[in-house]
Every structure is written in structure tokens, then in C-alpha cells.
Amino acid sequence: MIDMHDIFNLIILILVLNVFLCIYRALMGPRAWDRVIAINVIGTKTIVIVILIGILYDSLYFVDVALVYALFNFILTVALSKYIEFGTL
């Protein structure tokens, strides 16, 4: 019988494989905007993975870590977008 831990492990595995596809896009993207979006998607998938790990271990501390990481991801995306658009931070 399949339990929730097996399903969460499968979802985490699929997300990690998807992150590798985004890493390829971030390295080989034809434009800078493609790279910024790929980096943002990697950060978002990392947040989801951290929250799923927190659910697996029944720990709310992972949610706090995910929130801080989401804040850093947002600030990085805005800073990179501004730098690409205007050339300065």
C-alpha cells in the first residue's frame, strides 16, 4: 500500500528533476530574461521542496526557512530585473 510519505518522496523527486531542467535553461538561455525566470523558478521549486520536507518530518521550522528563502528569492529577482533593465542597482 502506498502511503503519503511515498507520494511526497515521488513529488520531491519530480521537482528535483524539474530543477535540473531549469538549471539547463539558466545556463543555456538565449536571453538574460530567460535566465532570470529560470533562476526564479528554481527558487520557487526549492521553497516547495523545503515545505514538503517539513511536512515529511512534521516540523514547522522548515516553513520559517522557506519564508526567508522566498523573501531572498523575491529580492534577487527584483534586483536582477532592475539590473538588466537599467544597468544599475
pLDDT tens string for the chain (89 positions)? Answer: 888 889 989 999 999 999 999 999 999 989 999 999 999 999 999 999 999 999 999 998 999 999 999 999 999 999 999 999 898 76
Retrieve residue 24's grid coordinates: 539547463
Domain that holds residue 54: 4-86
**Per the structure block, which three cell numbers stand in for 50?**
523545503
Cell matching residue 44: 520557487
What whole-number distance in Å separates Cα of residue 24 and Cα of residue 3? 33
Structural domain tally of the chain?
Answer: 1
What pLDDT, on a 0 to 100 scale, did the predictor assign at position 29?
86
Helical ranges in the chain per DSSP H: 4-28, 32-56, 61-86
**Coil, helix or strand at residue 88:** coil
First to last CA, the chain: 54
